[in-house]
Amino acid sequence: MTEAGMQRTAARVFASLLAADDASMTSAQLGRQLRISPAAVSGAIGHLTQVGMVGRERDPGSRRDRYRLHDGIWHATFAHRDQALTRWGHTLRDGARSLGEGTPAGARLSETAEFFAFMQAELVGVLDRWDESRRTPG
């Protein structure tokens, strides 16, 4: 995960939640298991919450927060990437027009926008096929 760009502590916290039977842990549990400070747990959880990978809930009858992976985490993560590809594509096309599509830089931006559009179309199809595979038994 760190090689893909995730912060090291956030990757460790995410992996701990992924490996937990109920996909959830308290801050104290994460700190003990990973041997990291409460501040490190808080920072990692803040990042994972911001990118939509982890949610916060209360333990029943307690004031303690419990952090849980969202159901369908991978689908949601890649669907979020679909939105990012849309934003990047618009920005790249605007940049290509600003630079002039006939210039080398404009052509490079146009090609990159085309690549993102292709990836986005493929990603939507992959996510649809995943949803269908989950609905189809066996």
- The CATH number of the domain holding residue 62 is 1.10.10.10
- Look at the block and give the residue holding tokens 């919450």: 49
Last residue of some domain: 22, 50, 69?
69
Last residue of some domain: 30, 46, 69?
69
Q: How far, in Å, CA of 115 to CA of 21, rounded? A: 39
**Rounded to two decimals, what is the model's pTM?**
0.72
Tens of each residue's pLDDT in the chain, 138 residues: 888 888 999 999 999 999 999 999 999 999 999 999 999 999 999 999 988 889 999 878 888 889 999 888 888 777 777 778 888 899 999 999 999 999 999 999 999 999 999 988 898 899 899 889 988 876
Instruction: Give the β-pairing of 54-58 and 24-26.
Output: unpaired
Last residue of some domain: 69, 102, 120?
69
Residues 93 and 57 in one domain: no
Residues 95 and 115 in one domain: yes
Domain boundaries, position 21:
8-69
